C-alpha cells in the first residue's frame, strides 16, 4: 500500500509509540485521526502537525467512542493500535492474592480494546474499493516481548499481550476475503513515557540487558516498522519482535 493520500487512525496516538506513528504517517502525507484519552497531548500534537491530523478523545473499549472516531474519517485505509496499559503486580503479593478487578482491567483495555478496534476498523475498511492485489486496508496491533518471556509480576500484562499476538493470525485469515491484512509488533524496551520516569541508573541497567544495540528502542523505530508493514503486501498474519535480541530474565 502506498501511503500518500491514505487515511489512518492511531489509537494511543497522543504519546509514545502511537505518537511516533502519527508523526511518521503525517510526514508521509496521510490523513490521521489521533485516538486517545489524553486530550491535552492529543490536541497539542494535532495542532503541531497541522491540517492532516485531528484529535478525537477515544476509549478503545467503548464501541461508541471508536465509532465516533472512525466517523471523522469517512473511509479508512490504515489502523495502528497502540493504546494499552502496562502493570507489574504479583498474582500473590505480600497483601495476598491480586484483586481480580485489577487483572480484569488489564485484559479489558489490552485485549477487548484491541479486538474492538480491529472489528470496527475492518468493517469500515471492507467498504473500500480494492487496490493492487485486491487490498482494502491494513491493521497493525501492538503486542510485547512479554507475550513470550514475561517476568515475575507480569502475569496480567503477559496474558493480555499474548492474546494480541494470538489473535493476529486468525484475524488475518478471517479478513483476507475482504483484502485486509492484520499484523502485530512485539516491542521490547522502548523509550516511552512508561519508562521516562525511571532514574538514569535504572535506565542504564535496562539498556544493558539488550544484546545489540544496547540501548532502549526509539519510538521512531517502531513507527518505521509499522509503516514498512503497511507498504509490504506480503506481510500478513505475522507478529514481529522489535527488541534488539532481548530475552527477558524471569525477574
Would you name the residues annotated as active-site residues?
157
Does an H or E element contain 46, and which?
helix 39-49
| SS3 label, residue 57 | strand
| Alpha helices (H) in 72-199, listed in sequence order | 100-107, 113-125, 146-149, 155-175, 193-196
Q: Judge contact between 89 and 137, C-beta under 8 A.
A: no
The closest alpha carbon to 5, from 36, 34, 30, belongs to: 30
- Distance CA(64)–CA(99), nearest Å, equals 29
The Cα-based distances of 182 to 17, 54, 68, 102 in angstroms read 18, 24, 22, 29
The closest alpha carbon to 236, from 123, 138, 129, belongs to: 138
C-alpha cell at 7: 487515511
Amino acid at each position: 500500500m502506498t501511503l500518500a493520500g491514505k487515511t489512518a487512525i492511531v489509537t494511543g496516538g497522543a504519546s509514545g509509540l502511537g505518537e511516533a506513528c502519527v508523526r511518521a504517517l503525517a510526514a508521509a502525507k496521510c490523513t490521521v485521526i489521533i485516538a486517545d484519552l489524553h486530550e491535552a497531548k492529543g490536541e497539542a500534537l494535532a495542532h503541531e502537525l497541522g491540517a492532516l491530523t485531528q484529535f478525537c478523545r477515544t476509549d478503545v473499549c467503548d464501541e461508541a467512542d471508536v465509532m465516533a472516531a472512525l466517523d471523522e474519517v469517512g473511509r479508512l485505509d490504515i489502523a495502528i493500535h497502540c493504546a494499552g496499559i502496562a502493570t507489574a503486580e504479583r498474582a500473590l503479593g505480600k497483601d495476598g492474592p491480586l484483586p481480580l478487578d485489577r487483572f480484569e482491567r488489564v485484559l479489558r483495555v489490552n485485549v477487548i480494546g484491541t479486538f474492538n478496534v480491529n472489528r470496527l476498523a475492518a468493517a469500515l475498511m471492507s467498504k473500500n474499493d480494492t487496490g493492487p492485489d485486491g487490498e482494502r486496508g491494513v491493521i497493525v496491533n501492538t503486542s510485547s516481548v512479554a507475550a513470550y518471556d514475561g517476568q515475575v509480576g507480569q502475569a496480567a500484562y503477559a496474558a493480555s499481550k499474548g492474546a494480541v499476538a494470538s489473535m493476529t493470525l486468525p484475524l488475518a485469515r478471517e479478513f483476507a476475503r475482504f483484502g485486509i491484512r492484520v499484523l502485530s509488533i512485539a516491542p521490547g524496551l522502548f523509550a516511552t513515557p512508561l519508562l521516562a520516569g525511571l532514574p538514569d541508573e535504572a535506565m542504564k541497567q535496562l539498556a544493558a540487558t539488550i544484546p545489540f544495540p544496547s540501548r532502549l528502542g526509539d519510538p521512531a523505530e517502531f513507527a518505521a516498522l509499522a509503516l514498512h508493514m503497511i507498504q509490504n503486501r506480503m506481510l500478513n498474519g505475522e507478529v514481529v519482535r522489535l527488541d534488539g535480541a532481548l530475552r527477558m530474565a524471569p525477574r
